Amino acid sequence: MAYSDKVLDHYENPRNVGVLDKDDPNVGTGMVGAPACGDVMRLQIKINDDGIIEDAKFKTYGCGSAIASSSLVTEMVKGKTLDEVGEIRNKHIADELALPPVKIHCSVLAEDAIAAAIADIKAKRAARDGSEAVAS
Amino acid sequence: MSSLNIPIYMDYSATTPVDERVAAKMAECLTKQGHFGNPASRSHPFGWAADELVEQSRDNVAKLLGANSKEIVWTSGATESDNLAIKGAARFNVKKGKHIVTLKTEHKAVLDTCRQLEREGFEVTYLDPLENGLLDLDVFKAALRDDTTVVSIMHVNNEIGVIQDLAAIGKITRERGIIFHVDAAQSPGKVAIDVEAMNVDLMSLCAHKVYGPKGIGALYVRRKPRIRLEAQIHGGGHERGMRSGTLATHQIVGMGEAFRIAHEEMDAENIRMGALRDRLWNGFSDMEEIYLNGDLEQRIPGNLNVSFNFVEGESLIMSMKDIAVSSGSACTSASLEPSYVLRAIGRNDELAHSSIRFTIGRFTTEEEIDFTIAKTREAVEKLRDLSPLWDMHNEGIDLASVVWASH
Ligand SMILES: Cc1ncc(COP(=O)(O)O)c(C=O)c1O
Ligand code: FES
């Protein structure tokens, strides 16, 4: 299978590979996929006090398109709010990387990873706000 | 380090380049200066010359098998031979029974042929191999029934290179009067064949895995005791009615020459390839979490199939772009299934997704092996750094205990 230049670029020079502290209340972690399916994506986002995503990291086990999709997503989310990031659809990723039809599910996985990371951070906030309310 | 030709070919089980000696012989059968005649033309020297070359080639193929040249039927390749053998024998013997026994790790040319026969009302038993890829003879014996007419077991597996014990299987089928078909596409020149000692009744062969051309193959059809087949391609009655169609002299001559060379050079070649394969395996052996797929001893020297755990095969191939290998992982074929061969030998999905098949051959050099070791290690390290599974493994998390958000 031939890969697009964009996929190759992200694959060869993946952006924002790494790990953020998953216990940090400002960090949301989304882990999606399964080893049995041949793909597992972990996306982490960190928001600042203004609710803006200031950092994002990923690690991915999967094909080249899955790795490129997650690398691209870390670039797309930085500087955006959670609501803005929630608008990102797999089509944006697939179009940007010129993924062929058999590789669309890799971009779906990236969309799922974003949603999971947002959900994680919202859950953390809800828990924190909840406990603060009890304390006061 | 100057003579390396990039990319390096490490996929000799997929196909091989045609040996120069073979190409030279083939070229003599094409133009008007050469032997272009139709081997079936009995009325002039053009036909006689072509016929003589075809018969010499038949001899060469027969010799490698320990067979008689009258037992060789030309086909277009191993796929066609598998179809002719299994469909031909099963349908011809339909009054005796409708049960077929085969192995789950067979090539699709055998498995899909069996599926077709199932649609026609035949019953097929697909046996599980042992974890090392070999057939368990007790399981095999237990699967045979009074209405079993055909057994189809491959000689050398194309993915993991393991060699089945044909003599032991053939002894059982001969005693029971069951037809024994063998897909031997991967064996000529790599492991000795003797259809008499092995009691093989039908054997599928092709040229393109043995430094011959693509698009030509043969089926060995035993004469004593005589095995009868229902033809699958009808026409001018060539090949004793078993396979009609004008014989492709240049292809046949290519296959004959390729088999002659393979027969002659097998012993020396195997020693050389065994050393190269061991060098390759030694180059990986100190890496963590790597698994050899298939038995190391009962295996052709040119094959090394390794799973690099926590790294996905397709991305591994992508980062080894200077090396031509193949993967048992899903995504290479767009079928989204990991290798059925690795699943059949009991590998879990992760390991099946992480496998790479290196197959080395006549033109592989030590330099190429060393380059392959270095590039593979580099790629595995890079991808493990990218792999959340590798992180989890290093944190001591048992991946089997994790509940995955499957999609
Ligand atoms: C074991 C086995 N059987 C059959 C085939 C099909 O052979 P051919 O390409 O000659 O049809 C192959 C090669 O792909 C093979 O490895
Ligand atoms: S992760 Fe399976 S095709 Fe991309």
pLDDT tier at B2, thresholds 50, 70, 90:
low
Residue B318 CB less than 6 A away from ligand 2: no
Q: Please report the pLDDT score of residue B331 as a whole number.
A: 44
3-state secondary structure of A46: strand
Q: Please report the pLDDT score of residue B333 as a whole number.
A: 40
Q: What's the average model confidence in pLDDT over B206-210?
A: 98
Q: Please report the pLDDT score of residue A133 as a whole number.
A: 57
Q: Please report the pLDDT score of residue B329 as a whole number.
A: 58
* Alpha-carbon span A115 to A89, nearest angstrom: 10
Locate the ligand 1 atom nearest the alpha carbon of residue B206 and give its number: 10
Q: Which residues of B213-223 are buried (b: 16+ CB within 10 A; e: fewer)?
A: bbbbbbbbbbe
Residue B183 CB less than 6 A away from ligand 1: yes
The tokens describing B7, both together, are 């990319």
Scanning the structure block, which residue is given the tokens 């400002």?
Answer: A26
HEC readout, chain B: CCCCCCCEECECCCCCCCCHHHHHHHHCCCCCCCCCCCCCCCCCHHHHHHHHHHHHHHHHHHHHHCCCHHHEEEECCHHHHHHHHHHHHHHHCCCCCCEEEEECCCCHHHHHHHHHHHHCCCEEEEECCCCCCCCCHHHHHHHCCCCEEEEECCCECCCCCEECCHHHHHHHHHHHCCEEEEECCCCCCCCCCCHHHHCCCEEEEECCCCCCCCCCEEEEECCCCCCCCCCCCCCCCCHHHCCCCCCCHHHHHHHHHHHHHHHHHHHHHHHHHHHHHHHHHHHHCCCCCEEECCCCCCECCCEEEEEECCCCHHHHHHHCCCEECEECCHHHCCCCCCCHHHHHCCCCHHHHHCEEEEECCCCCCHHHHHHHHHHHHHHHHHHHHCCHHHHHHHCCCCHHHCCCECC
Q: Tell me: pLDDT of B231 over 50.
A: yes
Q: Please report the pLDDT score of residue B252 as a whole number.
A: 98
* Alpha-carbon span B183 to B78, nearest angstrom: 7
Q: Which residues face B303 on adjacent strands? A: B359
Residue type, B185: A
Scanning the structure block, which residue is given the tokens 């014996």?
Answer: B141
* Alpha-carbon span B371 to B15, nearest angstrom: 21
The tokens describing B48, both together, are 């006689």
* Alpha-carbon span B373 to B281, nearest angstrom: 9
* Alpha-carbon span B373 to A43, nearest angstrom: 32
Q: Tell me: pLDDT of A136 over 50.
A: no
Contact A79, A53 (CB under 8 A): yes
Other CB atoms closer than 10 Å to residue B377's CB: what's the count?
A: 15
Q: Tell me: pLDDT of B336 over 90.
A: no
Pick from B169-183, B278-292, B369-383, B392-406: least confident? B392-406
Q: Please report the pLDDT score of residue A132 as a whole number.
A: 61
* Alpha-carbon span B337 to A50, nearest angstrom: 45
What ipTM was estimated for this complex? Answer: 0.91
Q: Which ligand is nearest to the CA of A65?
A: 2
CA distances in angstroms from B138 to B163, B169, B172, B183, B346, listed in the order given:
17, 10, 11, 21, 19
Q: Tell me: pLDDT of B350 over 70.
A: yes
Distance B393 CA to ligand 1 centre (A): 38
pLDDT tier at A1, thresholds 50, 70, 90:
low
Look at B318 and A63 and tell me if their CB atoms are within 8 Å.
yes
Question: Pick the residue with more confidence: A34 or B58?
Answer: B58
Strand order in the sheet with A27-34: A27-34, A39-47, A53-61
Q: Please report the pLDDT score of residue A20 as a whole number.
A: 96
Contact B356, B327 (CB under 8 A): yes
Q: CA nearest A42: which of A93, A94, A116?
A: A116
Residue A65 CB less than 6 A away from ligand 2: yes
Q: What's the average model confidence in pLDDT over B199-219?
A: 98
Active site residues of B: 331
Q: Do β-strands B290-292 and B303-308 pair in parallel, antiparallel, or remain unpaired?
A: antiparallel
Scanning the structure block, which residue is given the tokens 């042992």?
Answer: B130
Rg (CA), chain B: 23
Q: pLDDT exceeding 70 applies to what percent of chain A?
A: 95
Q: Please report the pLDDT score of residue A37 as a whole number.
A: 81
pLDDT, tens only, B369-401: 999 999 999 999 999 999 999 999 999 988 888
DSSP class of A2: P
Min distance B296 CA to chain A CA atoms (Å): 26
DSSP class of A102: G
Which residues of chain B does A59 touch, with a Cβ-Cβ cutoff of 8 Å?
A: 386-388, 391
Q: CA nearest A110: which of A53, A72, A54, A57?
A: A72
pLDDT, tens only, A96-125: 999 998 889 899 999 999 999 999 999 998
Q: Which residues face A57 on adjacent strands? A: A44
Q: Please report the pLDDT score of residue B334 as a whole number.
A: 47
Q: CA nearest B74: which of B211, B336, B250, B193?
A: B250
* Alpha-carbon span B256 to B207, nearest angstrom: 8
Which residues of chain A does B313 touch, with a Cβ-Cβ cutoff of 8 Å?
A: 38
Look at A67 and B386 and tell me if their CB atoms are within 8 Å.
yes
pLDDT tier at B159, thresholds 50, 70, 90:
very high
Other CB atoms closer than 10 Å to residue B195's CB: what's the count?
A: 23
Alpha carbon B25 to chain centroid, angstroms:
25
Q: What's the average model confidence in pLDDT over B196-221?
A: 98
Scanning the structure block, which residue is given the tokens 């003579």?
Answer: B3
Distance B134 CA to ligand 2 centre (A): 31
Distance B108 CA to ligand 1 centre (A): 8
Q: What's the average model confidence in pLDDT over A60-70?
A: 94
Min distance A108 CA to chain B CA atoms (Å): 9
Average of per-residue pLDDT values in chain B: 94
Q: Please report the pLDDT score of residue B330 as a whole number.
A: 46
Q: Please report the pLDDT score of residue B55 as a whole number.
A: 98
Q: Tell me: pLDDT of A3 over 70.
A: yes
Q: What's the average model confidence in pLDDT over B255-270?
A: 97
Q: What's the average model confidence in pLDDT over B173-194?
A: 98
